[in-house]
C-alpha cells in the first residue's frame, strides 16, 4: 500500500530530489565528452576565446555574473548549473566569490519576497504540495536546526528560501543557516574548474597528466563523496524531524479530542 503519511511523502520527495540533483553533473560531463570527441582543436579555440573575453571584462564580468546568479536562481534555475559555469569561467577563487555573493543576495531577496509579498500565495501553493508543507511544519517546531539541515540537502536553495520566508522564520537565523550552502557551492564551482582543466589537458596533446593534475581531479572526487555523505546525514535528520512533528501533532489532536 502506498504510504500517504507526511513522512512517507517527504521521503519520496527527497529521494526524487537526489536523482534530479545529479542531472547537471551528468549533463556537463556528457557535453565535455561530446566536445572532446567532436574536435579537440575547436574546443581549445573556444576555451581560449572565452578566457580572453572574461579577461577583457575584468571585475565587471564577475559583478554581472553575480546579478545573473541572483535573478536566475530566484526564478528557480538550478544553482548547480550556474556554479559549474562560474568555475569554468572565473576559476576557483573568483568563481567561488561570485556564487557566494550571489547566493547571499538571492537568499535575502527570496526571503523578503516570500515574507512580505508572496506569503499567502506560497501557503496556498503548499496545500497542493504536502511534502513541502510537512517540511515547513517541522521547521516551525525546530527552526534553526532544520534550516541548516535543509541547506545540506539537494533541495533547490531558492525553494527552501521561499519556504522558510513564508514560514515566518527570523531573518538573522535564516542568514546564518544560508551560509551552510557554502561547502556545496564551492564543490560545484570546483567541478566547473576541474572540467575546464580536464578539457585543456585532453586537447593539449603535447602534455601528459602529472601528479598535480591527478590531485586536482582526485580532490574533486573526494569532495563529492564527502558532500554525498553529509547530504545523506542531513536527509536522515530532516526525515526524523518530520516524523517527530507528525507524532507531536497526532498527540495534540488526540488530546484535544479527549478534552472536548
User: Does pTM surpass 0.95?
Assistant: no
Buried b (16+ CB within 10 A) or exposed e, 8-36: bbbbebbeebeeebeebbeebeeebeebe
Confidence of residue 2 (pLDDT cuts 50, 70, 90): very low
What is the rounded CA–CA span in Å between residue 134 and residue 240?
A: 12
Kindly report, residue by residue over 156-207, the tens digit of the pLDDT. 999 999 999 999 999 999 999 999 999 999 999 998 888 877 777 766 655 5
Question: CA angle 77-79-84, nearest 5°?
Answer: 120
> Would you list the DSSP string of 68-81?
HHHHHHHTT--HHH
Confidence check: pLDDT of 208 > 90: no
Per-residue pLDDT reduced to its tens digit, 122-149:
988 888 888 888 888 889 888 899 999 9
Predicted local confidence at residue 151, as pLDDT: 94
**Helices assigned H by DSSP within the chain:** 6-21, 23-38, 40-57, 59-74, 79-112, 119-126, 130-141, 143-151, 157-167, 171-178, 182-203, 211-259
What is the rounded distance in angstroms from the CA atom of residue 78 to the CA atom of residue 74? 10
Q: Where exactly are the structural domains of the chain?
A: 6-247
Residues 21-76 have pLDDT tens digits of: 667 767 766 766 665 555 555 555 556 666 677 767 778 889 999 999 999 999 99
d(CA 65, CA 86): 8
Binned at pLDDT 50, 70 and 90, residue 218 comes out as confident
Q: Please identify which residue in the block is written with the cell numbers 528557480.
A: 76
Amino acid at each position: 500500500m502506498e504510504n500517504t503519511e507526511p513522512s512517507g511523502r517527504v521521503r519520496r520527495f527527497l529521494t526524487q530530489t537526489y536523482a534530479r540533483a545529479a542531472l547537471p553533473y551528468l549533463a556537463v560531463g556528457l557535453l565535455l565528452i561530446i566536445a572532446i570527441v567532436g574536435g579537440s582543436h575547436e574546443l581549445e579555440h573556444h576555451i581560449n576565446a572565452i578566457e580572453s573575453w572574461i579577461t577583457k571584462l575584468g571585475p565587471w564580468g564577475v559583478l554581472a555574473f553575480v546579478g545573473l546568479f541572483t535573478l536566475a536562481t530566484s526564478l528557480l534555475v538550478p544553482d548547480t548549473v550556474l556554479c559549474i559555469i562560474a568555475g569554468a569561467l572565473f576559476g576557483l577563487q573568483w568563481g567561488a566569490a561570485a556564487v557566494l555573493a550571489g547566493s547571499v543576495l538571492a537568499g535575502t531577496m527570496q526571503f523578503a519576497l516570500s515574507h512580505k509579498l508572496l506569503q499567502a500565495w506560497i501557503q496556498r501553493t503548499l496545500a497542493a504540495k504536502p511534502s513541502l508543507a510537512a517540511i515547513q511544519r517541522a521547521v516551525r517546531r525546530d527552526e534553526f536546526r532544520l534550516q541548516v539541515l535543509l541547506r545540506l540537502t539537494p533541495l533547490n536553495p531558492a525553494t527552501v528560501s521561499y519556504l522558510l520566508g513564508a514560514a515566518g522564520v527570523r531573518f538573522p537565523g535564516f542568514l546564518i543557516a544560508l551560509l551552510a550552502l557554502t561547502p556545496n557551492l564551492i564543490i560545484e564551482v570546483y567541478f566547473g574548474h576541474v572540467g575546464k582543466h580536464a578539457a585543456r589537458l585532453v586537447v593539449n596533446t603535447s602534455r601528459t597528466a602529472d601528479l598535480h593534475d591527478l590531485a586536482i581531479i582526485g580532490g574533486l572526487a573526494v569532495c563529492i563523496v564527502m558532500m554525498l555523505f553529509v547530504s545523506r546525514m542531513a536527509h536522515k535528520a530532516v526525515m526524523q524531524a518530520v516524523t517527530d512533528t507528525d507524532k507531536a501533532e497526532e498527540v495534540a489532536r488526540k488530546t484535544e479530542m479527549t478534552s472536548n
